Amino acid sequence: MSLSLTPIDRAKYAAARRAVDLVEDGMKLGLGTGSTAAWMVRALAERVKSEGLRLTCVPTSVRTAELGRELGLKIVALEDAGWLDMTIDGTDEFDANLTLIKGGGGAHLMEKIVATASDKMVVITDASKEVKTLGAFPLPVEVVPFGWQASRMLIEELLGAMDVMGTQASLRMNGARPYITDEGNHILDLSLGRIGNPRQLSLALNQVPGVVENGLFIDICDIVVIGFADGLVELRDIGEGTIERERIIFEDTNNIFRDV
């Protein structure tokens, strides 16, 4: 039951509930990946079940696809859906310009493709993810397995000329083995401390041989929905320049959220 959730999960749930209120019947949606996005998928399935919404959903990872199918959502590939109306996803960090760091869940490549194939990207988060300057959260960079050590050396050399505090790139591990993305690649996590110029860094990283994509989302997010443990939700629309606040009522959602 939502009343027994931790404060952080209550905040995520509140943001997810508000975000899915933006969904309209007949929409084609991108579904993000991660713990906050999982709340969104479940809240979306709750609306579909109670209101009979007809939606077509494109997942950004295998685990999101599995969760969506389990909950009865219509899951299709991006090439089958075509252009999307909206993508709803979480974030690891965001700033006042709604520039994001994503990829803590290892899905930022698919997340960026799906988000940029949408008319609008809505980000759901809790207040702890908002920062003045990006970079405290390690920046994920997806690289092909072949020659990843060379790619890492080139990245660390590049970082020395960037407006960042740190230059260490670490291979993400899954136990004793390298973490493998859904696309079969590795991830290098960059411990930067601070990113003074995200746009410059993003462009430079993607020029390094072996780099597939980085976790900086620039000029992609349109709306951020920030949830709080008491049910307060703040919706910021960067395009409209508006801020809306309301309170979500925590109801008994034991059935739909039983596995979270």
pLDDT at residue number 252: 55
Catalytic hit among 46, 111, 142, 213 = 111
**Mind listing the pLDDT tens digit for each residue in 228-244?**
999 999 999 999 999 99
Q: What is the CATH number of the domain that holds 177?
A: 3.30.70.260
By residue range, what is the domain housing residue 91? 2-130+219-247
End-to-end CA separation in angstroms for the chain: 10
**Mind listing the pLDDT tens digit for each residue in 49-100?**
999 999 999 999 999 999 999 999 999 999 999 999 999 999 999 999 999 9
The answer to whether residues 119 and 243 belong to one domain is yes
The answer to whether residues 13 and 42 belong to one domain is yes
In a domain, 72, yes or no: yes
The answer to whether residues 108 and 13 belong to one domain is yes
The answer to whether residues 41 and 149 belong to one domain is no
The answer to whether residues 109 and 230 belong to one domain is yes
Rounded Cα–Cα distance for residues 55 and 87 (Å): 12
The answer to whether residues 110 and 64 belong to one domain is yes
pTM across the whole model: 0.94
The answer to whether the CB of 139 falls within 8 A of the CB of 146 is no
Rounded Cα–Cα distance for residues 43 and 174 (Å): 30
pLDDT at residue number 249: 87
Give the chain's domain count.
2
In a domain, 253, yes or no: no
In a domain, 254, yes or no: no
Active site residue 142: no
The answer to whether residues 144 and 126 belong to one domain is no
Bigger pLDDT: 255 vs 75 = 75
The answer to whether residues 60 and 168 belong to one domain is no
The answer to whether residues 162 and 99 belong to one domain is no
Tokens of 55: 């939606």
Rounded Cα–Cα distance for residues 106 and 241 (Å): 31
In a domain, 82, yes or no: yes
